[in-house]
């Protein structure tokens, strides 16, 4: 699997609650700041930074979606 997002792309990230459950909160907008190595199971990982509060996270590709 290859990375589907480029550095500086804006994406939605669905915040997750305990044990991976998604919350009822609206998705936050983040900017891709880095593309990390593909995991052993083939999942692409990214470093993202929040546009609202300047928080950085590392996420897998299935945790983010394009704007629109």
Sequence spans of domains, the chain: 10-66
Residue 15's nearest CA partner among 67, 66, 57 is: 57
pTM of this structure: 0.80
- Kindly report the average pLDDT of the chain as a whole number: 86
For residue 10, what pLDDT is reported? 96
Contact 26, 45 (CB under 8 A): no
The upper half-sphere exposure of residue 5, i.e. CA atoms within 13 Å in the direction of its Cβ, equals 28
Residue 23's pLDDT band (cuts 50, 70, 90): low
**Which tokens go with 50?**
């929040």
Contact 53, 13 (CB under 8 A): no
Residue 14's pLDDT band (cuts 50, 70, 90): confident
SS3 for 18? helix
């Amino acid at each position: 699997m290859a990375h589907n997002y480029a550095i500086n792309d804006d994406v939605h990230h669905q915040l997750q609650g305990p044990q991976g459950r998604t919350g009822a909160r609206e998705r936050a907008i983040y900017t891709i700041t880095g593309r990390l190595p593909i995991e052993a199971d083939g999942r692409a990982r990214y470093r993202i930074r929040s546009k609202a509060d300047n928080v950085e996270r590392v996420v897998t590709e299935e945790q983010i979606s394009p704007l629109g």
